[in-house]
C-alpha cells in the first residue's frame, strides 16, 4: 500500500475511533440514554427524525456517516498540510486548532444545513465537544499527517 494512503487510513481510523469512543462516553454521561440513540442521532443528519424509528439499520448508518465524516476531515487536512505553511510550524498546535476549526464548521454550518433536530446544549456539553475534537480528532490527524510529511519531505 502506498505510504500516503496508509497515512490517511491510519489517521482516519485512529481519529474516527477516538472520536466515537469519546462521544459514546460523553453521551452516556450527559444524556444517560440508549447507545443506539447516539448513532441514530448521527443518521438523523440525513434522514431527519425518522432515523430514531429506524432501529439498528439507522444506527449502522449513523456509524457509517461518522466514519465518512472523519475520513473527510482527514483527507482535507492531508491535502491542506503541504499548502498551508503555518500548519507545519507546530503539529501539536495545528492539531488543537484544527479540532476547534472542525467543531466550528460542524456546529455552525454542517449541523445547521442537516436534518438534525435542533437541540440546545449547555456549556459543559459544548466544552466537552470542543475538547473531544481537539484531542481525539485534530491532534491525531495533525501528528500522523505531519509525521508523514516530515519523513517523506513531500512539502
pLDDT tens track for 68-79: 999 999 999 999
Domain that holds residue 144: 3-152
pLDDT tens, position by position, 87-132: 999 999 999 999 999 999 999 999 889 988 766 778 988 999 999 9
Q: How crowded is the C-beta side of 104, counted as CA atoms within 13 Å? A: 6
pTM higher than 0.95: no
Up-side HSE of residue 40: CA atoms within 13 Å toward CB? Answer: 15
Rounded-to-10 torsion of CA 117, 129, 18, 68:
40
Number of domains present in the structure of the chain: 1
In the block, which residue shows the cell 474516527?
16
Amino acid at each position: 500500500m502506498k505510504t500516503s494512503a496508509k497515512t490517511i487510513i491510519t489517521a482516519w481510523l485512529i481519529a474516527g475511533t477516538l472520536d466515537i469512543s469519546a462521544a459514546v462516553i460523553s453521551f452516556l454521561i450527559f444524556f444517560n440514554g440508549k447507545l443506539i440513540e447516539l448513532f441514530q442521532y448521527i443518521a438523523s443528519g440525513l434522514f431527519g427524525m425518522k432515523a430514531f424509528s429506524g432501529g439498528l439499520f439507522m444506527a449502522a448508518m449513523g456509524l457509517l456517516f461518522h466514519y465518512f465524516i472523519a475520513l473527510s476531515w482527514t483527507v482535507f487536512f492531508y491535502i491542506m498540510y503541504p499548502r498551508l505553511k503555518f500548519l507545519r510550524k507546530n503539529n501539536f498546535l495545528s492539531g488543537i486548532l484544527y479540532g476547534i476549526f472542525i467543531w466550528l464548521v460542524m456546529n455552525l454550518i454542517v449541523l445547521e444545513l442537516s436534518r438534525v433536530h435542533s437541540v440546545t446544549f449547555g456549556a459543559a456539553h459544548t466544552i466537552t465537544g470542543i475538547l473531544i475534537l481537539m484531542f481525539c480528532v485534530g491532534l491525531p490527524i495533525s501528528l500522523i499527517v505531519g509525521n508523514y510529511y516530515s519523513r517523506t519531505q513531500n512539502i
